[in-house]
Amino acid sequence: MSVDTMYLILYNYFQWRQCRCTQKINTILVMSDTLVLNHDGMPLSMLPPSVIDWQLAVKLLYLNKVMVIKEYDDWTVRSQRMELKVPSIVMTKRYVRPRQKVLFNRKMVYLRDNYTCQYCGEQFQAKDLTLDHVKPKSRGGGSSWSNLVTCCGTCNWLKGAKVIEPLTVPKEPNYWQMVKAAKNIIPYSLRDPAWGEYLGYDDDSSKAVNE
Ligand SMILES: [Zn+2]
């Protein structure tokens, strides 16, 4: 298996689940089992975090594509022939050039705008937000980073087909701006608190699921 194939497989396994939380705007539950680091010790991806399930981690280990950095002390899997501690953190044996392009989708536009309506300036939960075309579709406005902004239901209704200047001129964000935005706004629940050090989350912003 080539490194590129491995990279694609990893990405297919990334899980980025959202749940609603009454006190917090959004909580990303990083529920998968094993954090994958690149050969330089940085996570293979930060947006979303490169986390895979233990079965894939074991497979990559067996294929000699990754090495174990940390195991779970209290989690062992057994087959008829072998017994193995589940890896909590693995590192690729070769450096994989990271892809740092921000996906263009609804969630990413909300994140760029800090979950804040770009007309009234209030912050909302994702379920109360929508996307607004600054230049309406009926006037030829397209769906792009520079023409879509986060908008609450009320402002969306009031605005209708009018053209109103949003609070911030919308533009395509860069990858690291979005990583920073995610850190500021999205509390992560980590399977293993040890991941926090690699993902750059301190104890206040991350919480072990197993606690
Ligand atoms: Zn609004």
Q: How far is the CA of 117 from the centre of ligand 1 (A)?
A: 5
Going residue by residue through the chain (211 aa), what tens digit of pLDDT does each one get? 455 555 544 544 443 333 333 233 344 555 689 999 999 999 988 887 888 999 999 999 999 999 999 999 999 998 888 899 999 999 999 998 887 888 899 999 999 999 999 999 999 999 999 999 999 999 999 999 999 999 999 999 999 888 999 999 999 999 988 988 888 776 667 889 899 899 887 654 444 333 3
Q: Are residues 158 and 73 part of one domain?
A: no
| Assigned token pair, 15 | 């899980």
Q: How far is the CA of 165 from the centre of ligand 1 (A)?
A: 13
Q: Are residues 84 and 29 part of one domain?
A: yes
Q: How far is the CA of 148 from the centre of ligand 1 (A)?
A: 14
Q: Are residues 94 and 132 part of one domain?
A: no
| Assigned token pair, 211 | 């606690």
Residue 204 located in a structural domain: yes
> 11 in helix, strand or coil?
helix
Q: State residue 133's pLDDT score.
A: 96
| Assigned token pair, 157 | 């209704």
Q: How far is the CA of 153 from the centre of ligand 1 (A)?
A: 7
| 199 neighbors 190 (Cβ within 8 angstroms) | yes
Q: How far is the CA of 142 from the centre of ligand 1 (A)?
A: 21
Residue 181 located in a structural domain: no
Q: State residue 156's pLDDT score.
A: 95
Q: How far is the CA of 129 from the centre of ligand 1 (A)?
A: 9
Q: Are residues 165 and 80 part of one domain?
A: no
Q: State residue 181's pLDDT score.
A: 87
Between CA 169 and CA 134 the distance in angstroms is: 10
Q: State residue 109's pLDDT score.
A: 96
Q: State residue 15's pLDDT score.
A: 35
* Full domain range(s) for residue 68: 3-101+186-210
Q: Which CATH number covers residue 124?
A: 1.10.30.50
Q: Are residues 134 and 97 part of one domain?
A: no
| Assigned token pair, 70 | 């940390």
Q: Are residues 11 and 91 part of one domain?
A: yes
Q: State residue 4's pLDDT score.
A: 52
Count of domains observed in the chain? 2
Could you please report the per-residue DSSP string of 137-202?
Answer: GGGT--SSTTTEEEEEHHHHHHHTT-----SS---PPPHHHHHHHHHHH--EEESSTTHHHHHT--
| 127 neighbors 153 (Cβ within 8 angstroms) | no
